[in-house]
Amino acid sequence: MFLAQATEPLEIPEVAWSSFAPELALTAAALVLLLIAIAKGRQQLVAVPAAVVSLAAGIWLVTQQLVVPGGVAIALGLALPALVFAFPRRGSLVQAWGAGLALVGALVLTGWQYLTVLEGGGTEVATIVPQAALAGALANDGIAFFTRITVYLTGLLVVPIGYGYLQDRRINRAEVEPLLLLAVVGMAALGTANDLITLFVALEVLSLALYVLAGLARRDRRSQEASLKYFVLGAVASAILLYGMALTYVASGELALPAIGSSLGLVTTDRVVATLGLALITVGLGFKVALVPFHLWTPDVYQGSPTNVTAFMAAATKAAGFAAILRLYLVAFPGLQGLWVPVLAVLAALTMLYGAYLALVQRDLKRMLAYSSITHAGYATIGVVAVSDAGLSGTLWYLLTYAVSTLGAFACVIAIERTRGGEVGLLELRGLGRTSPAIAGILSLCLLSLAGLPPTAGFVGKLVVFQAGVQAGLTWLVVIGVLSSVVAAFFYLRIAGTMFLEDADPALPLPAASSGLTVGTAVSAALVVFLGIQPQLFLQVADSAAALVR
């Protein structure tokens, strides 16, 4: 019987390379950068062949009418030897520039992908035509594109922000950038994954990379502790998630999310097994995005990890995790809506209140931002439980605004940490508004955005999500959200107040920004303002993102 099956001709799916072109480019970049790191001192030996291969591939692509991917390949192929010859003795600078350029390339490829699946255009509001690829394993739809944008943008900003910091702490090891790129690939894949296996693999790719990144500071006990805690707890969560996926497969007999969705909608489906699967998946994903009560790892891990890694984790992991949540719940579990909507709504309410209240009593800035990130997971969940197009695009948009705001805030923390070392408490911030107004100003701006005050990005983010919540009839949840944002405003404001309304301690050294940090911080701050005043560009994309592969 088994043998008879095996002899049947196997169906080999068409490989639509363009559907994961950005990830492909980044993976290749990560591998090449790692090779360069291995060939320390003889970097040309790696760079030149890699460049030749890349150029050849690029030219071939251009001849195949694929001008944009070809152009990206050629550009990266040319940039690589240029970097190696420009900085022969400074490996980490090659790594940083290489990673940054690869991420720019990935953003270009994302834009190219986006344009190819757009319909309409002109003055009309364009809509995305969702495309499934690799026999349904990937879905190139709105969630995928928006998650890519958020994640790549975050990666692109984290590289310069972290460069000087890693050097100061002497943890600028060669594997940082490749790991970062691989984590980014995992996150983007998580946003694209349209079946359970791809989803799980993507989740593990990003998690494994982050476990290592969290423990980057090998001499720092807290960093080690953070890494170990994250790993152990993450493994538990992954196991629970995997079990949930298995049960879902048992109940539906399908792995592809749309197929699960239609199968679970049938009356013949075993609802008990399906519900068990749903519950366990909720636990697993709730852990990844830090919903109460699965949030406990967050403060310890965020506080202990190197700050640039924390920034990356806070901004990008959340975006990727919510992309998976959105896709799973809206595509695979619409049949069980009556079950998960109230549960997630309660979790969201708990998360918002709990995070805000605990942030109130924190003294350490990184820990406070960790609790703040927990709170923000609650806000983003409002868009999920709204179960509407508005909620979907609202959550995606919210995550982008949160990402830029929190990146800016962490970048300022890095600037302060660089000269003062150790932890940054509230006391160390006194009078910063007078001694270094630029950093204090940008930190305040980002905190105001996190608090959701106009005219910053965070305000528009909250507004859109709350709006979707009210439209879905979840007024009670929105009221809780607004209340928690008032509590949250209190502690964000306390920081701003400490910086501007108190006297400085002259003994403390002034914060110092490296050039990369300056650029990263400035871009984040500019985005916070731009997305607040002129959010239309990205809101359109988010709005058209409501088209899913179902």
Partner 1 sequence: MSFFEQYGTFAILVVLGCLLYALIMVVSRVMRPSVPSPQKLTTYECGVPAEGTGWTQVNIRYYVFAFLFVIFDVEAIFLFPWAVIVGGLDATTPVSPMFAVVAMFLFIGTLLEGLAYAWKKGVLRWD
Partner 2 sequence: MKLLAVLASGVELEVVETTSGLIGLAWLIPLVPLLGFVGVLLATRALADRAATIAMGAAALTFVLSAAVATTVILEPATYVRAMPTWIDVGGFTVTFELLIDQLTAVMLLVVTGVGLLVHVYSVGYMHGDSRYPRYFGYLNLFLASMLILVLGSNLLTLFLGWELVGLSSYLLIGFWFESRSNAAAAKKAFVTNRVGDVSFMVGMFLTFATFGTLDILDVVTDAEALASGTAFALVLLFLGGAVAKSAQIPLYVWLPDAMAGPTPVSALIHAATMVTAGVYLLVRLSPLLVVSVDAMEIIAWVGALTALFAALIAVRQDGIKEILAYSTISQLGFMFLAVGVGAFRESIFHLVTHAFFKGLLFLVAGSVMHAMANRTDIWQMGGLRKVMPVTFWTAAIGTAAIAGVPPLAGFFSKDQILTEAYFHGYGAIWIIGLVAAVLTAFYMSRWFILIFLGRPRYGEVVHPHESPPSMTVPLIVLAVLSAIGGLALNAVHTGPLYRFLEPTVGPIDQLGYEPVGPLEEAVLIPLAIVAAAVGILLAYLAYARRDVSSGRMSEPVSGVGAELMERRFFVDEAYEKVFTGAGGRVAQAMVWFDTRVIDGLVDGAGAVSVAIGRVGRRAQTGLVRSYVGVVLLGAIVLVGVLMAQVV
Task: Return residues touching partner 1 (CB under 8 A).
Answer: 6, 9-10, 12-15, 31, 34-35, 37-38, 40, 175, 250-251, 270, 272-273
Binding partner of residue 279 among partner 2, partner 1, none, CB cut-off 5 to 8 Å per kind: partner 2
As a whole number of angstroms, the distance between CA 462 and CA 28 comes to 37
Which x/- pattern over 74-113 shows residues binding partner 2 (rule: CB under 8 A)? ----------------------------------------
Per DSSP, the three-state class of 322 is: helix
Nearer to partner 2, 168 or 389 (CB): 389
Helix (H), strand (E), coil (C) string for 271-309: HHHHHHHHHHHHHHHHHHHCCCCCCCHHHHHHHHCCHHH
As a whole number of angstroms, the distance between CA 191 and CA 301 comes to 23
Nearer to partner 2, 287 or 322 (CB): 287
Asked if 453 interacts with partner 2 (CB under 8 A), we say yes
Asked if 375 interacts with partner 2 (CB under 8 A), we say no
Q: How far is the CB of 217 from partner 2 (least distance, A)?
A: 18
* Dihedral over alpha carbons 409, 316, 142, 286 (to 10 degrees): -110
Nearer to partner 2, 165 or 459 (CB): 459
DSSP state for residue 459 in the 8-state scheme: H
With contacts defined by CB under 8 A, name the span among 27-35, 177-185, 202-210, 455-463 that binds partner 2: 455-463
Determine which residue in the list 80, 312, 466, 523 makes contact with partner 2, applying CB under 8 A. Answer: 466
Binding partner of residue 228 among partner 1, partner 2, none, CB cut-off 5 to 8 Å per kind: partner 2
For the chain, give me the number of helices (H) and strands (E)? 23, 4
Residue type, 370: A
Binding partner of residue 502 among partner 1, partner 2, none, CB cut-off 5 to 8 Å per kind: partner 2
Computed from CA positions of residues 111, 398, 290, 236, in that sequence, does the dihedral angle turn out positive or negative?
Answer: negative
Binding partner of residue 233 among partner 1, partner 2, none, CB cut-off 5 to 8 Å per kind: partner 2
CA atoms within 13 A on the CB side of 309: 30
Nearer to partner 2, 164 or 383 (CB): 383
As a whole number of angstroms, the distance between CA 405 and CA 373 comes to 11
Nearer to partner 1, 6 or 507 (CB): 6
**Residue 541 near residue 113 (C-beta atoms within 8 A):** no
Asked if 461 interacts with partner 2 (CB under 8 A), we say no
Binding partner of residue 126 among partner 2, partner 1, none, CB cut-off 5 to 8 Å per kind: none
Asked if 364 interacts with partner 2 (CB under 8 A), we say no
For partner 2, the binding residues in 23-52 under the rule CB under 8 A are: none
* Dihedral over alpha carbons 414, 34, 157, 522 (to 10 degrees): 60
DSSP-assigned states of every residue in 340-389:
HHHHHHHHHHHHHHHHHHHHHT--BHHHHHHHHHHHHHHHHHHHHHT-SH
Q: How far is the CB of 253 from partner 1 (least distance, A)?
A: 11
As a whole number of angstroms, the distance between CA 101 and CA 109 comes to 12
Asked if 427 interacts with partner 2 (CB under 8 A), we say no
For partner 2, the binding residues in 492-531 under the rule CB under 8 A are: 493-494, 497, 500-503
Binding partner of residue 134 among partner 2, partner 1, none, CB cut-off 5 to 8 Å per kind: none
Nearer to partner 1, 175 or 220 (CB): 175
Distance spanning both ends of the chain, measured CA to CA: 34
Nearest Cα to Cα of residue 397 among 546, 523, 290: 546
**Residue 149 near residue 541 (C-beta atoms within 8 A):** yes
438: which residues sit within 8 A by CB, 6+ positions away? none
290: which residues sit within 8 A by CB, 6+ positions away? 297, 298, 318, 351, 373, 374, 377
Q: How far is the CB of 288 from partner 1 (least distance, A)?
A: 24
Q: How far is the CB of 319 from partner 1 (least distance, A)?
A: 27
**Residue 544 near residue 126 (C-beta atoms within 8 A):** yes
Asked if 239 interacts with partner 2 (CB under 8 A), we say no
Q: How far is the CB of 57 from partner 1 (least distance, A)?
A: 12
Size of the site for partner 2 (CB under 8 A): 74
Nearer to partner 1, 15 or 482 (CB): 15
Which x/- pattern over 382-401 shows residues binding partner 2 (rule: CB under 8 A)? -------xx--xx--x----
Determine which residue in the list 300, 425, 438, 550 makes contact with partner 2, applying CB under 8 A. Answer: 300
Binding partner of residue 12 among partner 2, partner 1, none, CB cut-off 5 to 8 Å per kind: partner 1
Nearer to partner 1, 150 or 248 (CB): 248
**Residue 301 near residue 139 (C-beta atoms within 8 A):** no
Asked if 245 interacts with partner 2 (CB under 8 A), we say no
As a whole number of angstroms, the distance between CA 373 and CA 297 comes to 12
As a whole number of angstroms, the distance between CA 388 and CA 410 comes to 32
Asked if 280 interacts with partner 2 (CB under 8 A), we say yes
Determine which residue in the list 228, 246, 519, 529 makes contact with partner 2, applying CB under 8 A. Answer: 228
Q: How far is the CB of 229 from partner 2 (least distance, A)?
A: 5
- Strand-pairing partners, residue 138, are 133, 193
